[in-house]
Amino acid sequence: MRATAQLMDERVAALSTQARGAVQARDWATVERSAEALVAVAPGHPEGHFLAGLAHKAATRPLKAIAAFELALELDPTRYDAAVELAGQYSFARRNGESAALLDRYVGQLVNSPRYLDMAATTYTEIGLPERAWPLYCKAVELQPEIDLFQGNKAACAVYVGELEEAKSIYQRLLASRPAHQRNHYYLARLGRAVDDGHLRQMQQQLERGNLPPEQNVFLYYAIGKELEDLERWDEAFDYYRAAGDAVMRVAQYDIQADLALIDRIIGTCDAGWVGTEGGSAETAGRAPHTPVFIVGLPRTGTTLTERILCSHSRVESLGETQFLQMVIRRESGVHSVEPMTPEMISAAAGKDIRRIADGYLEAVAYRLGDRPLFIDKLPYNFLFLGFIAKAWPDARIIHVSRHPMDSCFAMYKQVFTWAYKFSYSLDHLARYYVAYRRLLDHWRATLGERLVEVEYERLVSDPEAETRRLLAALGLDFEEACLHFERNRSASTTASSVQVREKIHDRSVGRWRHFRTQLEPLRHALEQAGIAVD
């Protein structure tokens, strides 16, 4: 009996060693075969299920990975590696609350594992909790300072939590050893205004040495353009911005008609009659202890500035930018598509019980909520879903932030974005989308009336106290001096404006587009032809 057990232990050890070697080699087929053999030999041993989870994770099979990691953890609750891997898969599946709870339970066991410290910190960041990630990244780097990945992750988190000098120092060290790392050049360029051409020349030299196709130079193009603009070399800057946008468009496979059709469907579906119909939303809102404040608008229009002003108030907290509203609308629609949102999803979701959308969203954000009565969700893209917001929460605050059309479009044109804003890489697409966006905004004004609180970026930066008082009054909040000093707010920010929110309010960006008037003439003409005043 003892001999049989010993043979089984030896077999388990041999298969585990084989699989672990395959993990290092990223030979996932061998990992999967070894895991299957391990489970067959010892189904009650956590190792086989853990290795199966790694194989499913590599193959992007999140449901199977979750099941495997859950079983491994059930068989051995001390396996912090399974816990951290499982938390990452929960995050991938947008089960963020479960992810946060699991990490909180196991983080104390990670003190001697730099790999899993870094992995746990990355998951914390993904679920919107970079302040919990920061000490873990610091510890991982302390244990293994020679690992560039750990250093780079720490630098990115340093920006989110306001440790800008630390981030700058790390990126400079990383670039000293790996000068060809384009994203690190881009991240370093974002950390402050260039005052000389030292870093600029390094990037231009790297561009020449690399001799890469344009689509592989996107981050370097944007970084060079940004520093040229800082140095007021306007024409050169625009050439690089245009090169970046053109490079993205070569590989984006983007059809603007899909975005325009989505806006058309929203306007046709979410009208005043639909928003005003009874759906039980008052019952949902009445039992919720927290009231949402949605800040929306096009990106780069001042939504983050507005958020920071408001979350400096004692009665307001911010969740930053979350994808939960769209996630719940998509899920409740029952429509399956590779696209994140489609006209069919809008039509289907509009016919469902609005309480399911309201409850699903509040359940998704619950892990982030503190004890303040108002919480902000600041995702610009949510301007598409204002009808669902108004119908789901009669007491929700809805804030729309706008900016001069040309400044708004140009600010988007020179920024790297994710899937949601593919229209921003072409001046023609920008013009067409902006016209559709303005049509949607007019629809929301007519549909929502006074429920839509509007903020103009130019007025906010020119007279911040008066505009802040007006905004707070519109939200039913008393004025607090802290709102005028949002740069002192130490809470994390993970938006594209995470550097700017550490500065005092300024108007340097107002009228910025005029330095590029000649290059932006096609955009200006297209907007004017559509009846949008730009001067």
Q: Which pLDDT value is given to residue 7? A: 64
DSSP state string for 221-271: HHHHHHHHHHTT-HHHHHHHHHHHHHHHHHHH---HHHHHHHHHHHHHHS-
How many angstroms separate the CA atoms of 505 and 515, rounded?
22
Q: Which pLDDT value is given to residue 288? A: 59
How many angstroms separate the CA atoms of 37 and 443, rounded?
60
Q: Which pLDDT value is given to residue 488? A: 87
- 3-class state of residue 320 by DSSP: coil
Enumerate residue ranges in the chain where pLDDT < 70: 1-7, 278-288, 418-419
Q: Which pLDDT value is given to residue 351? A: 97
pLDDT tens-digit series, residues 312-345: 999 999 999 999 999 999 999 999 999 999 999 9
Dihedral over Cα of 359, 387, 254, 181: its sign: negative
What are the tokens at 247?
Answer: 């490079």
Residue 344: Cβ within 10 Å count: 16
Q: Which pLDDT value is given to residue 9? A: 75
DSSP state string for 333-365: HT---SSS--HHHHHHHHTS-HHHHHHHHHHHH
Label residues 167-185 b or e (16+ Cβ within 10 Å = b).
bbebbeebbeeeeebbebb
How many angstroms separate the CA atoms of 394 and 288, rounded?
12
How many angstroms separate the CA atoms of 147 and 150, rounded?
6
CB of 125 within 8 A of CB of 160? yes
CA of 255: how far to CAs of 60, 339, 428, in Å? Answer: 27, 12, 12
CB of 97 within 8 A of CB of 133? no
What are the tokens at 48?
Answer: 């086989």
CA of 372: how far to CAs of 156, 318, 398, 488, in Å? Answer: 28, 10, 18, 19
Bridge partners of 377? 294
What are the tokens at 288?
Answer: 């919720």
How many angstroms separate the CA atoms of 159 and 88, rounded?
22
How many angstroms separate the CA atoms of 99 and 122, rounded?
12
- 3-class state of residue 318 by DSSP: strand
How many angstroms separate the CA atoms of 284 and 301, rounded?
32
Q: Which pLDDT value is given to residue 10? A: 83
The DSSP secondary-structure symbol of 401 reads E
Q: Which pLDDT value is given to residue 281? A: 44
Q: Which pLDDT value is given to residue 492? A: 77
User: Among 303, 315, 309, 304, which Cα is nearest to 374's?
Assistant: 315
Which backbone phi and psi does 291 adopt, to 5 degrees?
A: -110, 125
Torsion of CA 154, 157, 162, 165, to 10 degrees: 30
Bridge partners of 456? 402
Q: Collect all residues with Cβ–Cβ distance below 8 Å to 526 and sequence separation of at least 6.
A: 427, 428, 431, 432, 435
Q: Which pLDDT value is given to residue 280? A: 45
Q: Which pLDDT value is given to residue 417? A: 83
Q: Collect all residues with Cβ–Cβ distance below 8 Å to 286 and sequence separation of at least 6.
A: none
CB of 48 within 8 A of CB of 42? yes
How many angstroms separate the CA atoms of 334 and 349, rounded?
8
CB of 293 within 8 A of CB of 310? yes
DSSP state string for 199-217: HHHHHHHHHHHH---GGG-
CB of 192 within 8 A of CB of 224? no
Task: Give CA 189 to chain center in angstroms.
Answer: 20
User: Among 276, 300, 287, which Cα is nearest to 378's?
Assistant: 300
pLDDT tens-digit series, residues 266-279: 999 999 999 987 55
What angle do the packed helices 80-92 and 114-126 form, to 10 degrees? Answer: 20
Sheet strand arrangement including 316-318: 316-318, 374-377, 291-296, 397-402, 452-456
Burial class (CB in 10 A: 0-12, 13-18, 19+), 79: buried
Residue in the structure block whose two tokens are 């068989």: 75
- What length does the chain have? 535
